[in-house]
Amino acid sequence: MNIKEILQLDDFSRDDIITLLSCQGEERTLLFTKSAGVKEKYIGKKVWFRGLIEFSNICSKDCLYCGIRKGNKNLKRYNLTDDEILAAAKFAYDNQYGSIALQSGELEGLHVTQRIENLLYRIKELSKGELGITLSVGEQEKEVYKKWYDAGAHRYLLRIEATNEALYHKIHPGNKKHDFKRRLDCLKSLQDLGYQTGTGVMIGLPFQTPEDLAGDLIFMRDFDIDMCGMGPYIEHADTPLIEYADDLLPLAVRFDLTLKMIAILRIMMKDINIVAATALQAIDPIGREKAIKIGANIIMPNITPGKYRDSYRLYDNKPCTDDSAEDCQSCLEARVSLADNEIVYGEWGDSQHYDKRRKNPSNHGVTRSHTK
Ligand code: SAM
């Protein structure tokens, strides 16, 4: 089948996806026109905010690609105080962001569980239940996820990073702390508990093939995810994977592949939330706008207090590390309108897919009753 014929379909096989990932020129335009049309029909030309609070870069894991890995000693570690986190959440609330996302390195234990639980209650309180909350704090026990769900978190983003288990092992140390099956089990627990469940992968990793990327999208469809956050892999000088820097696809190709992955996923999963990842902007100054145009509908403006941003350096050339939260907002407003889309303020912007997936969406107690 040629690209035109494939694009007549509503869902794709592995081979179809591989063909779509390789399209260029006019065919590439056809792919993006179709995905933009699907977004407009099912979501509208709209974008919702998740004010991103990167509240700590302390991490117990040693992922071979990540700048905040435990083994990186060239990094100043930080942990925001509760008051700093609450002030950032208040900023999001006062500025009608609708939702926040709390993200950090991966730590487990009673102290972390209780701290986050307490913060969730306090954020719900300061926003009169109105701020939606996404968590992205890694692998945890199911009981911990449950505590946080009960305290008001209703979305969770846990990237599987790479769905080909062999590739997963190449980009993580081979020990219990980096267990592919546990990551999968965590995703299942989140879905079982009723979270809007998000996952994603990095695109352009060393050793990754087009077959792997096609497998990633098929995994997302079969797992029936509600949200996706995927972005280009960008090397970091202080990580073990830097060893393969010379073998990587050029940044522009990783960028292009990411846009194609977003476009294909939008056609396959029409009503999920898809993030325009910040890493896109590290490659192209208007990278996130390009993603919005062709299918993404979520942006995560960084509202971490400025003095810490430089230390949450996941990859080299991370953008906006010297901006303030106010800078981020006005910059994004201009950018989103450039992409001919409109920012929706004061709404959660929940995944429509989740609502359809869950027969009885009213069973999430307090937080759901505050959906606007
Ligand atoms: N530890 C939590 C987790 O794994 O879910 C959240 C924090 S983690 C730093 C957030 C994401 O950063 C990871 O899921 C990974 O995909 C991304 N990331 C880390 N290093 C990266 C790199 N070099 N290039 C692009 N993305 C990277």
What are the pLDDT digits (tens) for 15-44? 999 999 999 999 999 999 999 999 999 999
pLDDT number for residue 316: 87
| 323 CA to centre of ligand 1 in angstroms | 21
What are the pLDDT digits (tens) for 127-140? 999 999 999 999 99
Using CA atoms, how far apart are residues 287 and 77, in angstroms rounded to an integer?
29
What are the pLDDT digits (tens) for 62-84? 999 999 999 999 999 999 999 99
Give the predicted TM-score (pTM) of the model: 0.94
What are the pLDDT digits (tens) for 262-292? 999 999 999 999 999 999 999 998 999 999 9
Q: Are 278 and 300 in contact (CB under 8 A)?
A: yes
Beta carbon of 105 within 6 Å of any ligand 1 atom: yes
Q: Are 264 and 217 in contact (CB under 8 A)?
A: yes
Give the position, in ligand 1's atom list, of the atom nearest the Cα of 66. 20
Using CA atoms, how far apart are residues 100 and 348, in angstroms rounded to an integer?
9
Beta carbon of 162 within 6 Å of any ligand 1 atom: no
Task: Provide the pLDDT confidence category of residue 363 given band limits of 50, 70 and 90.
Answer: very low
Span 55-63, mean pLDDT?
A: 98
| 331 CA to centre of ligand 1 in angstroms | 24
Give the position, in ligand 1's atom list, of the atom nearest the Cα of 201. 16
pLDDT number for residue 319: 80
Q: Are 239 and 200 in contact (CB under 8 A)?
A: no
pLDDT number for residue 326: 72
Q: Are 53 and 228 in contact (CB under 8 A)?
A: no
- Grouping H, G, I as helix, E, B as strand and the rest as coil, residue 237 is coil
pLDDT number for residue 331: 72
Beta carbon of 206 within 6 Å of any ligand 1 atom: no
pLDDT number for residue 360: 53
Amino acid occupying residue 358: R
